[in-house]
Amino acid sequence: MMFLEQVMAILWKDVRSEWRSKQMWTGMGLFAILVLVIFNFAFDLRVDNKAAVAPGALWVAFVFASMLGLGRTIAVEREKGTMDRLLLCPVDRKAVYLAKLLGNMLFIGVVEIVALPIFAVLFDVPLFFGPLLPIVLLGTLGIAAVGTLFAAMAAATRARELLLPILVFPLIVPVVIAAVRATGTLLVPAANEPPWLGLMAAFDVIFLSVSMLTFEYIVDE
């Protein structure tokens, strides 16, 4: 099978199995919305500081929901034992990684699409869906690229839900900074902003490649 066909096959399997249960989507979605609600109580949102706090709240909700999702996709594979069977097939490990990555991005993407309008309503900020799209896309790709790799690593331990955020949070700091600042610039346009999208794109390219290359070392026994 060609590389792309392998990726699509694994991805379609994951999407279909999640579509049947819909457990993760609902769980992640509700979690993201709840985080936004908690932020309302954490920060006293008045008109003047809303623009300062809103992007941060949004991205914290996305990052936390991503952690849940990333951990679960690989954990489910381990529980059902399908990971070993997948590895027995002569499939390129890079294809496995890419499929997992795309699956994770899809799951997190759905959560984000649901959470964004609710975010706009709760925080009373205008929703610039068009310009927001590249930011959300690049940011999610960055978080998922690193997160998919480390989810596979942490899945081998018992404390996998604990270990994944500990490993991933320090590494995605550039993405979080860039995403929050880029979103903030949308709400409050500022001059002389550093090229946040460029930084995110560079981060994504670098860590996508490195993760693809090193995934086989993690997953093969």
Binding-site ranges for another protein (CB under 8 A)? 146, 149-150, 153-154, 156-159, 163, 166-167, 169-171, 173-174, 177-178, 181, 190, 193-194, 196, 199, 202-203, 206-207, 210-211, 214, 217-218, 221
Nearer to another protein, 29 or 55 (CB): 55
Q: How far is the CB of 220 from another protein (least distance, A)?
A: 8
Q: How far is the CB of 171 from another protein (least distance, A)?
A: 5
Nearer to another protein, 29 or 165 (CB): 165
Nearer to another protein, 42 or 210 (CB): 210
Q: How far is the CB of 51 from another protein (least distance, A)?
A: 14
Separation CA 215–CA 83 (nearest Å): 13
Quickly list H helices, 43-128. Answer: 47-80, 82-88, 93-123
Q: How far is the CB of 133 from another protein (least distance, A)?
A: 21
| Residue in the structure block whose two tokens are 């331990």 | 157
Nearer to another protein, 125 or 177 (CB): 177
CA neighbor of 70 nearest in space, from 36, 40, 39, 97: 97
Q: How far is the CB of 150 from another protein (least distance, A)?
A: 8
Nearer to another protein, 36 or 178 (CB): 178
Separation CA 101–CA 11 (nearest Å): 9
Q: Are 148 and 101 in contact (CB under 8 A)?
A: yes
Query: Amino acid identity, residue 96?
Result: V
| Residue in the structure block whose two tokens are 């997992």 | 100
Nearer to another protein, 26 or 157 (CB): 157
Separation CA 37–CA 118 (nearest Å): 10
CA-based Rg of the chain, rounded to a whole angstrom? 18
Q: How far is the CB of 110 from another protein (least distance, A)?
A: 27
Separation CA 42–CA 80 (nearest Å): 39
For the record, the structure tokens of 59 come out as: 């991205």
